[in-house]
Amino acid sequence: MSETDRISELEGLSYFIDLDWFQESGRSFTVVVEHCLCLACKERLASEPEAMTSTSLIMNIRDCCSKASGFISPELPLLEKIFRLFLSNGDRSLSLAELIAQLSLYLDSPTSLSPQTIRRLLDNDQCYGFCRKP
């Protein structure tokens, strides 16, 4: 396989936030996602937590909180930016190429992003539930 083939194969790998992972590892998706909410949605979550399932939280962030300017700010750690990108896309699966294209809008030096780097980050993550699409 040529180098170009390898890179395009890598770029084609798709990831998503696996809600089952949170369940299986006994973690709360709500806790991880709460700080991504805008003020109004935080208050809504606090007042009616049972109405906010993981899926409805994601849809909510896609349609509301992610529209606020600064939702993905340059100061955020790279993994947090990636997490928020998935949320703003409603957690549809994104290929590494799509991720890098979207991420580069929020980085000073997008050239530092290679599909290898992003794949390693996503595969090693133990916090955000990133999962490779089979």
Instruction: Tell which residue, 114, 64, 118, 53, has the closest CA to residue 88.
Output: 64
Contact residues: Zn ion, CB under 5 A: 38, 41, 64-65
Closer CB to Zn ion, 7 or 32, in the complex: 32
Smallest gap from residue 95 Cβ to Zn ion (A)? 27
Smallest gap from residue 4 Cβ to Zn ion (A)? 42
Smallest gap from residue 42 Cβ to Zn ion (A)? 8
- Within 13 Å of residue 38, how many CA atoms lie on the same side as its CB? 15
7 contacts 95 by C-beta, under 8 angstroms: no
The size of the chain, in residues, is: 134
Closer CB to Zn ion, 36 or 100, in the complex: 36
Smallest gap from residue 70 Cβ to Zn ion (A)? 13
Closer CB to Zn ion, 4 or 69, in the complex: 69
Closer CB to Zn ion, 33 or 65, in the complex: 65
Element (H, E) at 95: strand 94-95
Residue 85 CB partners (closer than 8 Å, separation 6+): 72, 94, 99, 102, 103
